[in-house]
Structure 1
Amino acid sequence: MKKGVLLVNLGSPDTPNPKDVKRYLDEFLMDERVIDLPYVLRAILVKGIVLNTRPKKSAEAYSKIWWEEGSPLIVLSERLQEKIDQFTSVPIALAMRYGSMSIENGLKELDEQGVDEVLLIPLYPQFAMATTETIVVLAEELRKSMFPHMSFTQMPPFYNHPDYIRVLSESIKESLEGKDYEHLLFSYHGVPKRHIRKSDITNGHCKMNGICCETPSPAHQFCYSHQCKEVTRLVGEYLEMEDGTYSTTFQSRLGFDPWLTPYTDRTIERMGLGGTKKLAIATPAFVSDCLETLEEIAMEGEEIFHEVGGKEFHVIPCLNTREDWVKVLSRWIDEWALATPVAVEA
C-alpha cells in the first residue's frame, strides 16, 4: 500500500465578495454538526434568516483581513503544506471542510498519486463536533462512495501532546518576550453547551458545572471544554505562570443558545473596566491565523479593550508555519508512515 496524508482545515470563501461569502456560509451553517437542529428548522434559520443578513457583514470582515494572495487561512495552510512536504517521505495533500478546496478534491489528488492508505489530519488541536467530527464523517462518506480502495487512519486530537504543548508554549513565550502585560487570555472558539453533552460518551459525566472538566473520565476523549482548559493548564505549567495571571475564555458565539463561558468579548470588556491596562491574548483552537483571530480578536477585541480604558493589547500569532511546528507535524507523519520513530529535531 502507498501511504499519503490529507491535511484538513476549516475553509474560506473564494473571495470576500458577499455572493461568495453567502455560498460559503450556506455550506458551513447547513452542516448538521455545526448547527445541530432538525433539517427544516436549520434551513429556516440559515436560509430564511442568517443568509439574508450575515453575508454582507461577514464580507466586510473578510475584506479587512484579506491578503493579496487570498484568504489568510488558505494561504497559511498552503505554506504549511509546502513546508511539511520538504521534511516528509509521503505525498501531502491539503483540503478544506468547506469551500472549493474540498475533501473530495484532496482525496482525488492523493488517489492520482497511487495513494491508498491515508493519514487524515484535522488541523484542530481539540476535538469538537463542528470541527474534527464533521471532517471525519464526510471523509468516510466519500471513501465509501468514491474511494473504496482507500483506508483511513485518523490522527487523534493533539491538544495534550507534549510536542504540541512545547511548541505552543515557546511561541507564546517568544511573542511576549520583552513585553509588559498584566494578564494572558487563552481564547478558544466557542461551541453550544449542548455539543459538549452530545459528545459525552458516558451519557452522564458532563454536568457543565466547572468540576467535571477536571474530574478524570473517558468522556474527556471527546470533550472540547476539557481539552481547551487542559491546553491552558499545560501551557501555564510549562511557562511557570502564576495563578491568576492567565485564564480561559470562548469566542465567536452565534444565536441565543447557551454557549461555553466565559465569553471572550465580555471578559475583555470586564478586565478593561476593572483597570487592566495591558492584556495579551492567544488563540490555541486554531493552528493558522484566520478571520476569528485576525478580525474578531486582533481588531474587534482590541477596539473593545481600548473603548473601556485598556492601553496595550497584544495578540499572539497562531503557530502558522513556525519551523518547530512544521518539524513536529513532519515527525508525526513520518512516524506513522514508517511505523518507527523518526528523529527530527524541533
Structure 2
Amino acid sequence: MSKGVLLVNLGSPDSTDPKDVKRYLGEFLMDERVIDVPYWARTLLVKGIVLNTRPKKSAEAYQKIWWEEGSPLIVLSERLQAKIDEQTSVPISLAMRYGTPSIKQGMQELHDQGVDEVLLFPLYPQFAMATTETILVLAEKLRKEFFPEMSFTTVPPFYNHSDYIRTLGNSIAESLKDKEYEHILFSYHGVPERHIRKSDVTNSHCKIDGSCCQSASTAHQFCYRHQCYETTRLVAEYLELKQNTFSVSFQSRLGFDPWLKPYTDRTIERFGKQGMKKLAIVTPAFVSDCLETLEEIAMEGEEIFHEVGGEKFTVVPCLNDREDWVKVLSRWIDEWAHQKPVEA
C-alpha cells in the first residue's frame, strides 16, 4: 500500500469575473448539503433568483480581497500544502470542494503517483453538513466510480484537539499582543438551525435552547453548534480569558429560515451601540482566510462597528500557513503514515 494525503478546502471562483463567480456560486449553492431543500425548490431559488442577482455583487466583493497571485484562499492553501509537503514523508495533494482544483483532480494526482491509501483531510475544525459532510460524500462517490482500488482514512473534526487549541490560542495571543481591546468575539460561519437537528444522531438531543450543547451526548460528534462553543471554551481556558470578555456569534446567513444566533453583524452593532470602543474578532471556523474573513468580517464588520461609535476593530488572521500550524499538521500526517494514532 502506498500512502498519500488529500487536503480539501472550500474553494473559490477562478477569477473575479462575474461569469466565473456565477459558475462557482452555482456549484456551491446547488449542493444539497448547502441548501437542503428539494431539488426543484433549490433549482428555482438558485438558478431562478440567486444566480440572476448575486454574481455581480459577489464579484465586487471578491475584487476587494483578490491578491495579485489569485484567490487568497487558494493561494494560502497552496502555501500550506507546499510547506507540509516539505516536512512529511508522503505525497500531499490539494483539492477544493467547489471550483478548481477539484477533488477528482486531487485524487487523480495521488493515483498517478501510485497512491492507493489516502488520508482524506477536510480543512475544517468543526463538523457541518455543508463543509465536512459534503466533502466526505463526494469523495466517496468519486472513489467508487473512478478509483475503486483506493481506500480512505478520514481525519475527524479537530475542534477540541489540544494541538489545534494551542496553535489557535497562540495565534490569537500573538495577534493581540500590544493591541487594545475590550472583548474578543469568536465568529463562526453560520448554518441553518435545521442543519443542527438533521445532524443529531439521537433525533432528540439538539434543541438549540442554550443548554443542550453543554449536556453530554453522542449528538455532539456531529453537532456544529456544540463544537463551535467547545472550541471557544477551550481557547478561552487556554488563554485564561475572564468571563464576559469573550463571546460567540455566527455570520453569513442566507434566505429567511432561522440560522444559528446570535448573528455576527448584529452583535458587532450591539456592542458599538452599548459603548464598546475596542473589539477584537477571530474566525475559528476557517483555517485559511477567505471572502468571509477578509471582506465580510475585516471590511464590512469594521464598517458596522465604526458607524455605531466603535473605534478600534482588530481582526485575528486565520492559521493560514503559520509555522506552528504546519508542524502540527505535518506531525498528524506522519503519525498516520507510520500507523501512530493521533491523540486528542
Determine the C-alpha separation between the residues in 2 that align with 1:17 and 1:257: 30
User: For each residue in 1:314-333, what CA deviation from the matched residue of structure 2 results, as whole angstroms up to 9, or x when unmatched?
Assistant: 00000001000000000000
Deviation (angstroms), 1:66: 0.2
Supply the distance in 2 between the matched residues of 1:180 and 1:315 (Cα, whole angstroms): 12
Q: Provide the secondary structure at the position in 1 that maps to 2:10.
A: strand
Question: What is the DSSP-based 3-state SS (H/G/I as helix, E as strand, rest coil) of the residue aligned with 1:333?
Answer: helix
> 1:324 and 1:57 mapped to 2: Cα distance?
36
2:204 corresponds to: 204
Structure 1: which 5+ runs fail to align?
none
Give the TM-score taking structure 2 as reference length. 0.99
Matches of 1:12 and 1:341 in 2, distance apart? 33
Give the distance between the partners of 1:173 and 1:327, measured in 2 at CA.
19
Deviation at 1:180, TM superposition (A): 1.3
- AA aligned to 2:159 is Y
* AA matched with 1:57: K
Secondary structure at the aligned position of 1:97 is classed as strand
Pair 1:327-2:327 in alignment = yes
Is 1:167 matched with 2:167? yes
- 1:4 equivalenced with 2:9 (yes/no): no
Is it true that 1:35 corresponds to 2:35 in the alignment? yes
Q: Deviations over 1:141-195 (max 9, x none)?
A: 0000000000000000000000000000000000000111000000000000000
Structure 2 matches for 1:327-346, cutoff 5 A? Answer: 327-340=327-340
Per-residue Cα deviation, 1:71-129 (whole angstroms, up to 9, x for no partner): 00000000000000011000000000000210000000000000000000000000000
Q: Which residue of the partner structure matches residue 286 of structure 1?
A: 286
Per the alignment, residue 97 of structure 1 pairs with 97
- Return the offset for 1:341: 6.9
- Normalised by the size of structure 1, how large is the TM-score? 0.98
The answer as to 2:271 corresponding to 1:271 is yes
Question: Distance between the aligned counterparts of 1:86 and 1:244, measured in 2?
Answer: 42
Q: Give the C-alpha shift of residue 340 in structure 1.
A: 2.9
Structure 1 residue 14 displacement after superposition: 0.1
Distance in 1 (CA, whole Å) between partners of 2:179 and 2:75 is 29
Paired amino acid for 1:78: E
The letter of the residue matching 1:173 is: A
Structure 1 residue 15 and structure 2 residue 15: aligned? yes
Matched, 1:148 2:148: yes
**3-state DSSP of counterpart to 1:234:** helix
1:88 alignment partner in structure 2 = 88
Partner of residue 69, structure 1: 69
Match of 2:138 in 1: 138
Q: Mark the runs of 5 or more structure 2 residues left unpaired by the alignment.
A: none
The CA RMSD over aligned residues, in Å, is: 0.7
Q: How many residues matched?
A: 342
In structure 1, C-alpha distance between the alignment counterparts of 2:181 and 2:70, rounded to whole Å: 33
Per-residue CA deviation, residues 12-32 of structure 1 (Å, 9 max, x unaligned), is: 000011000000000000000
Is residue 193 of structure 2 the alignment partner of residue 193 of structure 1?
yes
Matched with 1:248 is 248
User: How far apart are the structure 1 equivalents of 2:13 and 2:241?
Assistant: 39
Instruction: Output the CA distance in 1 between the equivalents of 2:143 and 2:125.
Output: 24
2:219 paired with 1:215? no
| Aligned mates of 1:8, 1:81 — CA distance in 2 | 10
Structure 1: which amino acid aligns with 2:81?
Q
